[in-house]
Structure 1
Amino acid sequence: MTKYTPLVKDMQKDLKKQGYHFSLEQTYQHLLKANFIDADGQPTKWAIKNGYVGIEYSYPQGMPTQDESDILTVLGYLPQSAIHYNDRPNLSGIDKEPLKKAIKQALHDDVLSSDGRRKWKKVLLDLEA
């Protein structure tokens, strides 16, 4: 596993846009020292808990099998910035916290089918684990 994870690479790009020109190694070292990432380049629990780093939730096989209208309903509650598309259509990611919020709102608004409610509740449990 490389320590130059997408998080490190994205941070390097963001810093470059702000006029700071750090190598990947320098960016990695700064993030490590600031406790944003661990030695493997993964976000620390502290960084996640304090909202400095978001978590993305992915379904390697796509969204759980359920009625398309239930999926679209929940996705409709998400801001577009929370969905990250990939070149491989079945491997898109969604930011974890906005997804949890969208599921809870759809459940609260009672806009899902009974099957959709059951399946989204299961996803929510998985997200909160």
Structure 2
Amino acid sequence: MAQLIEAVAWVHLEGGRILGARSRGRDLFYIPGGKREPGEAELAALLREVREELTVTLLPETVTHLGTYTGQADGHPPGTLVLACYTGEYRGTLAASSEIAEIAWLSLADRHRTAPVDHAVFDDLAAAGRLS
């Protein structure tokens, strides 16, 4: 039986590359974000996760829903992750927080280095000509 995990992610593109983060102790990168807390709204979760992981503040008035994807969550038993992806502008300087081992700008060629649920996001962005 599939387990439903609701998560949010911030899709940030620059120069045809997408910002990725890798947690300490993990091999794969993921689109920054994370799971919603019980009763937490998607926007609130997105703002919290981005601030916790990347030390920047998303500007809520600029946040736009990009798409919702389903796929296998890295490091979890077989099941389903529902990933609501958003774009938005930010204030501050991007930096990896203490829970993040590294951040990187990823291209389509780096798709294999990302969590399985992120593959569809990479594919959609590439098909739209937004990811090199």
- Which band: TM-score by shorter chain? under 0.3
Query: What TM-score, normalized to structure 1?
Result: 0.25
Higher-Rg structure is 1
Query: What TM-score, normalized to structure 2?
Result: 0.24
Structure number with the higher helix fraction is 1
Structure number with the higher strand fraction is 2
Question: Larger relative contact order (C-alpha < 8 A, sep ≥ 6)?
Answer: 2
